[in-house]
Structures are given as C-alpha cells and as structure tokens.
Structure 1
C-alpha cells in the first residue's frame, strides 16, 4: 500500500514539472514573439515614414496627409487613428489620379486639335503623310518637346529647302540673325580689355596689335566670325607659349623635391650610423665591465696564484681584442660617416645655389606679374596690394590719403584715326611723364585701357589738386611725335580724399564721378569731389 502511494506521488511530481516546463517555454516563446513584433513594428513605422518623405514634393495636396501620418507614428502608433489617416490619404490619391486621367484626356483632345490645324495649313503630300503618321504614333502631351521637335522637322523639311542660286542670301540672313543675338561691338570692346590685361609674348605682339585693330575698326562686324577665329588662335598661341614656362617650373620643383628626399635619407642614414656606434660602444663597455667584475670575484676567492694569473691573462687578452675590434669598426664607421657628411654638405650647397636661382626667378616673375608690359608701370594687381597697405596706414595713423583717377582724353579717336600702335605710344608717353614727375612717396599704376590710378599718401585734397594740376599741365605742354605727326595729348582726372568710414569702393566711386564731371566740363582738367 505504501509502495503504490509513493509511486503515485512521484508521477504527480513528474507531471507538475512537465507542465511547469511547458509554461516556462510558452512564456519564453511569447516573450520572443513580442520582441519580434516590436522589431517588425519599428521597421514598418520607419518604412512608412521614409515612404512619406519619398512621396513629399509629388503634389502639394498630399503634403498635409503625409505630415499627419508621420506625426501619428512619431507620437506612438494608434491603430485606429493611423487607419483613418491612411484611408484619407488613399482617397486624396484616388482624386489626384482621376484628375490626372482627365488631364490626359484633355491633352489628347488638344493634340487632336493641333494636328487638325497643322493638316489644314501644311498641304503638301509629304507633309500630310508625315503628320498623319506622327498623329497616330504620338501619345498625349507627356513629352511636348519631342512632339514639337518632330512637327518642326516635318514642316522645315519641305519649307526650308534652299534654292540652289541663293546660298549667299541665306548666309547673309543667318549672319544677320547671329548678329541680332550677339552684339559684336560689345564683345569686341570686352576682348580689347582682355588683351590690355593679359601678358602677351613678344613673338605674338604684332599679331595682337592687328587683332586689336580688327576689333575696333568700323567694319569689324562684317568679318566678326573670322576675327573671333583670329582671337582664339592668338589665345591658343599665348597658352602654348606659357606652357613651357610652367613645365620648367614643375620640372625644377620636382628636382628640388627629389633632392630634399635624398637629403632626408642621408640624414636618416647618419642618424642610424650614430645609433649603431653608440650601441657598439655600450656593448664594449658592458663586456669590459663584466670581465672586470669576474676578475674581481676570482681575485677575492683565489687560493692559488697560478690559476689567477691565467684568468687575468685570458681576460686582458679578451678585453684587448674587443677594444681593437671596436676601434677598427669605429674607424670604418667614422670614415663612412665622414663621407656621408661631405656628401650631405655638397647636396646642401647645391640646393642653396638652386634655391637662390629659384628665388631670383620668383622675384623676376613676381615683378613681371605686378608690372604692365606696355607702360612698365605697376599694374592693377600691384595697385590693389599697395592700396591695402596705404589704407591700413591711413586707418592706423589717421594721416590724409587721396585717390586720383586719370583718363586720357579722346583716346578712342586716336585709336580710330591713327591705329592702336599710336594709341599704345600715347599710353607709354603719359606713363613716362607720370614716372618722371611724380613725387617719391606717391604711387601710380595703369588701371586698364587708357585709365590710370594714383595714391597720394600724407596729402589732403587741397594739396592733391595742386599735384594733379601740375601733372596735367606738364603732360599738356609735352609733345608726342610719331610717324612724322605731332600729337597733343591731354588728360583729365577726378580726385577724392578718404574720410572715416570710407572703403576703397566708396572712394573710387567718388573719384570716378569727379572724373566724369571733368569730362563733361570739356576735358583737360581736374575735378575734386
């Protein structure tokens, strides 16, 4: 009886354990399912948000719906509200599709009307045939550019056939249309300004002068295309002339880089040699120290003289041998190190020489870059650098500073009547007068074309007008003779003094206005503003 009772209790315990395990397994499975559900829910929410962003911009009417959907997802998923918003979005999308379909139908009717009109007006057999084929094959106005391009080709194929004896008339019409689109006079003036500001090689100077005359002559518009071809040819020639200079600079810089690399390697080798020598000496010191310690220990513990003598003799021989070997290695290393130092010294001298040459070349190049090749005056770039310095000094020390803008009178007439070569001589003449009579503290530069600028530091407007009038009078009294013709050259200028709060732009604008007033009053005079 008791035996069966115990067996029954054991079975009950076993069943309970099984149910307990099943329950725990179900809890684990439910927990994993919930985690998986959360991951899927987050993924779906991210997908909906990203799709809503992707749909943004498709149509303004959809934007409020997309915004509300994103807002619901960000604030926590509420299935009922989200479902409502999605249904509203679906309805709005359906309305847009219906409207789009009706638009397509309207476009289809528009295309039909367009072809009816074309078939009535273009009645040749070929045009009728091609238009009918295009009408059957084309879709509603999904791609109007392609449709109108095809229509234009069909029409032009019949109507734009040139008559054999009219090529010159068509060319003239095309040339006239071309000139209506582009103003040759404006383009020519801009190109002349370009040639005034770029450095032209001596070999191309004559060609550049001829092109300038073509650009400024009255008949330039008659051969505008050929003149443009000449301009392009000249620019290519200038570029080809500058390329060897750039290649030489690149080659020289590469050479310097190689030498610096070799120099760095030599220094590294010298450092390694010094480390090896130091390591070898430390090794010798350690060996001698060990052997001396061994001798000291043997001496203190020796009981017989003969073994001690042998040990001392052996150690001394070993120490002597190691010292000799070290001296030999050190001599070899010293000789090698001396050779490396001499080689390094020679490389440094060579680099110093080449660096000096490069410095000289750079100084010359910088000087050329800051000089006007025609007048040998500082150019606009040099003026801008000097201007920064003078304005900084004026702001710091509060000393007066004046700006003068000069312009050669009737310069265009000189170019038109005598040619650009004479015009260039006029500019050189004016520049030489400036250089000859300008004060040492003053600065003058060619600003561009027939315009010059002058900076007068430590000079107020009353003194500036005296300086300017003196220069104007000297140039008026001087004479320029060229090609057996004596020219009287006059100049006008506008003057302004810089005041607190001024910038270069505001001061230059005032000086330019003063120059304009001098021109209006008859030229050959100075005005101050």
Structure 2
C-alpha cells in the first residue's frame, strides 16, 4: 500500500514538472511575442533597420540560436547608433517645410528672384533660425499681396499662390467692408488675415491629431488687430517647430494616417511593461525594480543599446534561475526514484527472505520427522535397554542440533531484517521531510505564478484558469455570467508627469480598491499594463452595469495623492455577458469594444456591449 502511495506521489511530481515546463514554454512564447511587438513598434525609422528587424522576427519564429541572435542584436545596435548620430545633426524640419512651401508658390516674375535668394539662404539654415526664416517668408508674401491692388475683385492671391485645378476657396475667407475713415489700413489688415487664413487652410488636414491649426484658423477669423495676427503667426511658427503638422514629402510610401507620437508607448515603457509581466524570483525582484527605475530615468536614445542588453541579461538571469529550480526539482525526483528503487529492492529481499525461511522451515520439519521415525524404528528393533537408550540420546542430540541451527538462522535473519527496516524508516522520514519542503515550495511557486507581483492580485494566468472554471460551471448550470474590462484613463499621462513610481502606486491603489469592493463570488485580475478584468458569476448584464458603475464612482472619489499633489484618477469599463454558444474570446472582444466606446465617449464611464448599437 505504501509503495503505491509513493508511486502516486512520484507521478504527481512528474505532472508538476511537466506543468512547470509548459509554463516556461508559455513564458518563452510571451517573450517572443513581446520582441515581435517591440520590433513592430520600432519599424519605419530606416529601411536597413527594418530589414534587420525582420530578420530578428524570423529568427524568433524558429529555434533560437544564441550566437545568431547576438549577431542580429549587435547589427541592430550598430544601426541604431548610426541613426542616433544622424539625429544629433542640426534639425531642419521647419526650414524644410518653408522651403517646400516657397517652391510650390506661383509668384509673379518680379518676386521669383527674391524667392530664389530665400531658398538659397534656407538651404544653409537650420531650425535655430526658423523664426527669421518664417518672418522673411511672410514678408515676401505680404510684399506680393500689397502689389495686387485688385485683390478684392480678382481671384484671391493665395489661390493663385497655391493654384490647383481641384482647389476650392476656403470658407473661412471673409471680405469685410472697408471703413471710410481708414480704408487702406483695414484693407491691409483684411489682406493679412485672408493670407494667414488661406495659409492655415492649405496646411491643415483632416488627420491633424491635435486640432491646433483649426484653433488658429478660428483665432485668425475673429482677429480685429494686426497684433493679434502677429501673435497667431508666432504660434504657427511654434507648431511648425514641434512638427505637429510638418509635411512628409520624403515619406510618400507610408500610411496617409498620422499617429500622434505622444499616444504611442516608448521603448522604455514597453520594456517596463515586459518586466511587470515576468514572474521574477524573490532574490531578483530588487534588481528588476532597479532596472525599471533606470528605464524610467534614462530616456536618451543613446542609452537604448545598453538598456536592451541589461534587460536581456536580467531576463537571462530569470531564465537561468528557473532552469536551476527545474534542475533541482529534477534532482529531487531522481532522488525519489532512487529511494523508491531501494524500497523495491528491500521488499524483494524481504520476500526472498520469507521464501527462504519457509523453505528452511519445511526442511527442518522434514528432518525432525525423519529423526522421530528413526527413534521409533530403534524402539521397535531394540533388544537391550542400554542400546535403546544410547540410540535415543544420539537421535535427540541430532534433533537439538537442528533446532539450534534453525533458531540461530532465524535470529540472524530477524536482526538483519530489523536493521534494514530501521534504515528504511530513517530514509522514509528524510524523504517525507523533503517532500513537505518541496510541497511548500511548489505551492509558493504556484501562488507566485498566479499572482501579479506589483498589485498582489491574481494575474492573467490566474484569470485564464478561473475563466475556464467559470465557463464550465456556466455551461453546466446555465447561471448568468458577465465579464468586465477596466482601463485606467490617461494612465500614460500620470507616468509622464509624475514618473512610473506614481503609476505603480496608482495601479496598486486601484487594484486594492476593486478587490476589496467586489463580492466574494466575483473575481478580479490584472490583465496587463493598466487593464484589469473581472468575472461576475450569477450576474446579468444590467446588474453588472450597476455594480461596475458603483466601483467607477469609488475610483473617481478615491482622493489619490502623490508627494502631496492631488492626482485625479478615473477609469472606464466595458461589460459583456455570456450568451448561448459564446466563447471566452467572443465575450472578451465585445467587452473590449464597449471599453473603447467608453473611451471615445469621454472616459470615466461604463458601457454595456448590448448598448453599442443604440
């Protein structure tokens, strides 16, 4: 019976080992996906860099070759260094914009010479002189406008400057009646205003991410004095300097949709998110926190190469630690196997000893029987009493000798068996002690694997396991089941303004607020980054919406402070319920779309998937 129990324990340990190997494979797969997404985020900066990034992605899809991977990373680092050197060269973004504008202008012949001189001067200037360049450009435009005395009756001068068959006059251009008192000044002001409006109209586009140019157009339309128009011209200069609406003539092959770079996570933020998702051993947590702090502080692209290598070393350390733990676990299982073999050998010896004892007992009985028969024969054949007595004594001595040998053999076998049992008992106690330690270690590791290190609530792995259980229960009993996805509003702004430590504190605060406010039957996990996911069994969609709205109000009124500064924290939520034949993926996608709908509607609200069509 004990042997079967130990064999079962052995098989259980093998199952745990296989699960640990599966967890490592999942981690390795996650790392590959993360590197793939990081490579996608880095694409588009340079053709040669894109080629090496593609090579890196292809290498990650195959079996990893360390030497080949290091070679690819070194090549990418070298290209990044060259790009950094190029970026350190003088910035000419705004000046290039002015050059392109001047080249597209249809100027009178009298102004072409001036334009050529400006273009020659611009070719030797950088953005440090952009204000002077912009002023000279505006002076040229004003000089052309002032020479056109019939602007009120003819086609607009800006339309001629940017003439095109499909261009239509801007609706923003308004011809106000001139004053009889100062006709020339008001006419010049209107011309200046119309020129600026038309220029803004030509620069603006529907994909403008911030709407700043539209705001400038409104300001120009309402301006009543030249000083107001001068101020708007300065603001336009600042916008060109910050590249918000700079034309991309050298990037015709790229997408026509402009993406606000401020909304995209930086390389450092992606690496920080990666470290947050890793299962870090206890003795490496301090090192991981130190690395996250460095990623937060060292934002200079020149440090990317060093940071990437150090993050890779940290990940390798985590992997080595996991391999070491795996090796220790395998060694323990090998010890268990060896000791089970010893136990098996002991039982075999005991069986053999019992068989030998049985055979010796049978031989002893047989010998005793023969000696007794001989005594009977001697008694029957005896003629003299003295001879009979001597024969009986001899036979009795022989029987006593057999009995003595048998007892000595049994005593020796008993002592040997007793010693083996004592040794085996000692080994069993040692094995039991090690098993208890291993069980505690496995429980701790499983708990660590299922818990988010930062917020100390269940992680995505725990959510997937719990979701599988709840879906099975939902299918079996047909009780309602809802899913809610939370996302902290403008979380990147908190990180950018106060630092990642403040962001970490926000995540901890929100996580503890939610998990302490939900029902015992509900389940909350950190899905990743600033996203949380909830499972609400036994709850219909309408009731779920009421519950999550209460939680949203608690988040809004939590009164978060960081270093004495009040920081307004809100969250948005998307809700969906399980319907017949639904899969987890389908429900999650519906809740995710509802979440984005809540974001589009202004954030700090909860949206139900069923209401999306309303």
Residue by residue over 1:172-222, the C-alpha shift from the partner in whole angstroms, topping out at 9 and shown as x without a partner, is 46999xxx99x996866653442221023223133321354268x5x54x5
- Structure 1 residues 355 and 373, CA gap change in structure 2 (3 angstroms): same
CA distance in 2, matches of 1:233, 1:337: 55
* Map of 1:230 onto structure 2: 310
* Match among 491, 507, 511 for residue 411 of structure 1: 491
Report if aligned partners of 1:214, 1:227 keep a CA contact under 8 Å in 2.
no
Q: How does 1:102-121 map to 2 (within 5 A)?
A: none
- Structure 1 residues 400 and 185, CA gap change in structure 2 (3 angstroms): closer
Is 1:526 matched up with 2:602? no
Residue 261 (structure 1) shift: 3.6
CA distance in 2, matches of 1:463, 1:276: 77
Aligned residue pairs: how many? 355
Residue 357 (structure 1) shift: 1.5
> What is the TM-score with the length of structure 2 in the denominator?
0.53
Residue 260 (structure 1) shift: 3.3
* Map of 2:421 onto structure 1: 341
* Match among 496, 507, 514 for residue 427 of structure 1: 507
Residue by residue over 1:118-164, the C-alpha shift from the partner in whole angstroms, topping out at 9 and shown as x without a partner, is xxxxxxxxxxxxxxxxxxxxxxxxxxxxxxxxxxxxxxxxxxxxxxx
> What is the TM-score with the length of structure 1 in the denominator?
0.61
* Map of 1:478 onto structure 2: 558
Structure 1 residue matching 2:525: 3-state secondary structure: strand
Is 1:213 matched up with 2:296? yes
Q: How does 1:333-482 map to 2 (within 5 A)?
A: 333-482=413-562
CA distance in 1, matches of 2:335, 2:580: 51
Is 1:262 matched up with 2:342? yes
Larger Rg computed on CA atoms: 1
Residue 278 (structure 1) shift: 2.2
CA distance in 1, matches of 2:511, 2:495: 17
Report if aligned partners of 1:404, 1:494 keep a CA contact under 8 Å in 2.
yes
Structure 2 residue matching 1:378: 3-state secondary structure: coil
Residue 478 (structure 1) shift: 0.3
Structure 2 residue matching 1:440: 3-state secondary structure: coil
CA distance in 2, matches of 1:335, 1:470: 75
Give 5+ residue unaligned stretches, structure 1.
1-167
CA distance in 2, matches of 1:174, 1:358: 55
Q: How does 1:17-416 map to 2 (within 5 A)?
A: 172=85, 190-200=270-280, 201-213=284-296, 217=299, 219-220=300-301, 222-242=302-322, 244-296=324-376, 308-416=388-496
CA distance in 1, matches of 2:323, 2:285: 15
* Match among 490, 493, 510 for residue 570 of structure 2: 490
Structure 2 residue matching 1:502: 3-state secondary structure: coil
CA distance in 2, matches of 1:518, 1:204: 38
Residue by residue over 1:478-526, the C-alpha shift from the partner in whole angstroms, topping out at 9 and shown as x without a partner, is 0222222221211111111101101111111111111111111111111
Residue 448 (structure 1) shift: 0.8
Residue 298 (structure 1) shift: 5.3
Aligned-residue Cα RMSD (Å) equals 3.1
CA distance in 2, matches of 1:254, 1:352: 15
Structure 2 residue matching 1:445: 3-state secondary structure: strand
* Map of 1:509 onto structure 2: 589
CA distance in 1, matches of 2:582, 2:498: 41
- Structure 1 residues 169 and 190, CA gap change in structure 2 (3 angstroms): closer
Structure 1 residue matching 2:574: 3-state secondary structure: strand
Report if aligned partners of 2:272, 2:292 keep a CA contact under 8 Å in 1.
no
CA distance in 2, matches of 1:170, 1:438: 50
Q: 1 or 2, which has the higher helix percentage?
A: 1
Residue 433 (structure 1) shift: 0.2
CA distance in 2, matches of 1:408, 1:440: 23
CA distance in 2, matches of 1:186, 1:209: 13
- Structure 1 residues 480 and 309, CA gap change in structure 2 (3 angstroms): same
Larger CA deviation: 506-515 vs 197-206:
197-206
- Structure 1 residues 209 and 188, CA gap change in structure 2 (3 angstroms): closer
Residue 282 (structure 1) shift: 1.9
Report if aligned partners of 2:275, 2:292 keep a CA contact under 8 Å in 1.
no
Residue by residue over 1:331-366, the C-alpha shift from the partner in whole angstroms, topping out at 9 and shown as x without a partner, is 222122222222222222222222111111111111
Report if aligned partners of 2:268, 2:296 keep a CA contact under 8 Å in 1.
no
Report if aligned partners of 2:276, 2:453 keep a CA contact under 8 Å in 1.
no
